[in-house]
């Protein structure tokens, strides 16, 4: 039995399935998905349903998953209303138009009502971080890191969840000496072009979003021995200037 962590799948179902094959993922293993299953890519809802169908796959929320959770009922109402959407809802527009939510919403609207409600109920059970010990080593899995609350005496349960899913943190932003943090959210190439397609190792912290949906690669780490696995992206390479 092994424990794996992966993040920022963003609808890249083919790459995720390829990764499962590569690591020979079985019912005896555990997979922690550290946020952002949805948006930008082509198969967000199918991917989410795949994760939901596996009791040994665990979703830790990212900002994009939070959007779908927040708007699931809105989308169900849109479906009941023959697809008419309130485009004066600026939060909804921000998700759909500026953050790759359109495809996710389209996929969701194509589902039958029971499947819509299954997703809505699944996403109501929110987890924003996970502490676990694997082979005597302590880990903290959290989508974006601790943000402004990066100090050793912090209680994670008291950090606003918006901070846990939205922060942009530095390479070494882990306040704990005895805990290895695993985070996603910021594609590693944004920290420097030399990190293209690679997990970024800070001090006691791994940044594992290797920008699959931006045409780089999908990374996965096995927490038992810290071995890294990579699958190349099938998406076009997008240049991001920051």
The residues of the shown chain that bind Mn ion, judged by CB under 5 A, are 36, 62-63, 185
CB of 153 to Mn ion, least distance (A): 26
CB of 46 to Mn ion, least distance (A): 20
Number of CB atoms found within 10 A of residue 106's CB: 13
Q: Smaller CB distance to Mn ion: residue 185 or 216?
A: 185
| Closest residue to Mn ion: CB criterion | 185
Q: Smaller CB distance to Mn ion: residue 25 or 233?
A: 233
Those residues whose C-beta lies under 8 Å from the C-beta of residue 131, and which sit 6 or more positions away, are 138, 139, 140, 141, 156, 179
48 exposure class (CB count in 10 Å sphere: 0-12, 13-18, 19+): buried
CB of 31 to Mn ion, least distance (A): 18
Q: Smaller CB distance to Mn ion: residue 15 or 36?
A: 36
CB of 123 to Mn ion, least distance (A): 15
CA dist list (Å): 143 to 32, 37, 81, 167, 205: 11, 11, 34, 9, 12
CB of 166 to Mn ion, least distance (A): 8
CB of 86 to Mn ion, least distance (A): 25
Q: Smaller CB distance to Mn ion: residue 3 or 38?
A: 38
Q: Smaller CB distance to Mn ion: residue 63 or 217?
A: 63
Q: Smaller CB distance to Mn ion: residue 1 or 240?
A: 240
Separation between Cα atoms, residue 228 and residue 217, nearest integer Å: 12
């Amino acid at each position: 039995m092994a424990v794996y962590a992966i993040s920022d799948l963003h609808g890249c179902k083919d790459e995720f399935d390829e990764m499962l094959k590569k690591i020979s993922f079985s019912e005896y293993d555990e997979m922690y998905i550290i946020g952002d299953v949805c948006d930008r890519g082509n198969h967000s809802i199918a991917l989410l349903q795949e994760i939901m169908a596996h009791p040994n796959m665990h979703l830790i929320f990212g900002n994009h998953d939070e959007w779908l959770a927040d708007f699931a009922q809105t989308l169900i109402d849109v479906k009941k209303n023959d697809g008419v959407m309130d485009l004066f809802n600026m939060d909804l527009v921000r998700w759909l138009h500026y953050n790759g939510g359109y495809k996710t919403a389209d996929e969701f609207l194509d589902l039958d009502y029971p499947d819509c409600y299954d997703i809505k109920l699944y996403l109501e059970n929110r987890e924003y971080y996970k502490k676990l010990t694997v082979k005597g080593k302590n880990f903290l899995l959290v989508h974006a890191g601790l943000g402004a609350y990066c100090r050793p005496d912090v209680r994670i349960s008291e950090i606003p969840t918006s901070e846990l899913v939205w922060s942009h943190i530095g390479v070494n932003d882990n306040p704990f000496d005895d805990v290895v943090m695993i985070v996603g959210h910021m594609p590693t190439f944004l920290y420097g072009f030399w990190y293209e397609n690679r997990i970024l190792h800070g001090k006691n912290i791994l940044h594992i979003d290797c920008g699959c949906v931006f045409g780089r690669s999908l990374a996965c780490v096995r927490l038992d021995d810290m071995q890294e696995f990579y699958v190349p992206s099938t998406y076009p390479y997008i240049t991001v200037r920051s």
